[in-house]
Amino acid sequence: MDRRQFLYGATALAAAPMIVSCGADRPVVTIDNSYPVSNFGATSTAEEVTLGLDLTGKTALVTGCNSGLGLETMRVLAMRGAHVIGTGRTLEKASKACSGVPGRTTPVVLELSSLQSVVECADTVAGLGLPIDILVCNAGINTFGELELVNGVEKIFAINHLGHFVLVNRLMPLVKQAQAGRIINVGSRSAYVQAPAVGIDFDNLRGEGLFDSQEAYGRSKLANALFSLELAARLEGSSVTSNVIHPGLVKTNIARTAPIVLRKGFDWFGDLIAKTPEEGAATQVYVATNPALKGVSGAYFEDCNAVTVDGGNHIFDKSMAERLWAIGEEMAQGYLITIEGE
C-alpha cells in the first residue's frame, strides 16, 4: 500500500463515524470523466501541479494567507510569477506572511466575521487598479465550542460562507476585468459527511435550534459548495469560472479549538493520516492555474480531479443553491453591489 492509498483509507476511516451519525448513505466518490482528468493525486504538491507554468502578469487574491493552505497557496502562486494579494485578520498577520514569501505580494486586512471589513478589503483591493485573475476563497474556521452569533448569524456560517459571499460580490467587477478569471472556493468533504441530513437547515442559521459545532461546520462547507454551484450558473456565458475543492485531511491549525485529546492525537498521528500543507494546497492551486481547466465551471474537485459524489448528499442541489443565494442576499443586505449582467 502506497501513501496515496493510505491517505484515502485514513480519510474514509476518519469520516465513517460522521457518515453514520448524520444518517446519510455512505458517499461514493468517483472521478468525473466529463472534465479533463489529471495525473495528479492525493500526494501531489502545489509546486508539482504548477511545474512549468509562468503566471507573470496575473494577479491573485488568497484569503487567509497567514498560515496553512493559504500561506502555501500564496507562496507557490508568487513563485510562479503572480502578484498575490494576501489577506489576514490583521495587517500585522498579513504583512508577516507576505514578507516571508519570495515574489510580489501585497498584504490586506480582511476580517470575514465583519461585513464592513469585507467591504473595506474590497475597496482597498479595487484601489490597486488591477484585475483579479485568480480569487481563492480559502480562509475559514472550525470551532468545537458552544453556539456563537456574529451580527445575529451563527459564527461558522457567517465566516466560512457569508463573508466570502460578500467578498466575491464586491470583487466581481475586478474578476470580470481579467481575461479569464477563476474563483476557487475551498470546501470540504464535511459538506457531505457532516452537514445536516436535510442539507442547509435554513431555519437554524441564526441559532434558532440545537447547535452541534461539527454539524455547523459541515453546513458551512455545504454552503461553500452550493454557493460555487449557483455562482457558476450565474456566470454562464462569461469568461469567469467558479469551482469548489476539497483539499483533503490536512495537518494545519484549523482544529486548534478541538478538545485536547483530539489535538494531541492529531499532533501524534497527523503525519501518518493527513496531508502536508504542500499537498493540501495542490488541488486549489491546480484548479486556479492549470490551462486544461480553462472554461471549466460548476465542478467539485478532490485530489486534483473533478469528481462526482453519490449517496445521500446535497452538494449539487440546484434548488437549494438558489435558495441559499437568496438567503445570503437577505443576510448581507446593504453590503452587496449590483453586478452588471446578473
Of the residues 8, 35, 192, 217, only one is catalytic, namely 217
pLDDT per position in the chain (342 positions), as tens? Answer: 444 444 444 444 444 333 333 444 678 999 999 999 999 999 999 999 999 999 999 999 999 999 999 999 999 999 999 999 999 999 999 999 999 999 999 999 999 999 999 999 999 999 999 999 999 999 999 888 899 999 999 999 999 999 999 999 999 999 999 999 999 999 999 999 999 999 999 999 999 999 999 999 999 999 999 999 999 999 999 999 999 999 998 866 655 555 655 555 555 455 556 899 999 999 999 999 999 999 999 999 999 999 999 987 999 999 999 999 999 999 999 999 998 766
H or E segment and range at residue 59: strand 59-62
The domains found in the chain, sorted by start residue, are 3-331 (3.40.50.720)
**Is 335 assigned a catalytic role?**
no
Pairing of strands 305-310, 300-302: antiparallel
What is residue 274's predicted lDDT score, i.e. its pLDDT?
Answer: 81
CA dihedral angle for residue 109, residue 113, residue 114, residue 117, rounded to 10 degrees: 20
Question: DSSP character for 204?
Answer: G
What is residue 219's predicted lDDT score, i.e. its pLDDT?
Answer: 98
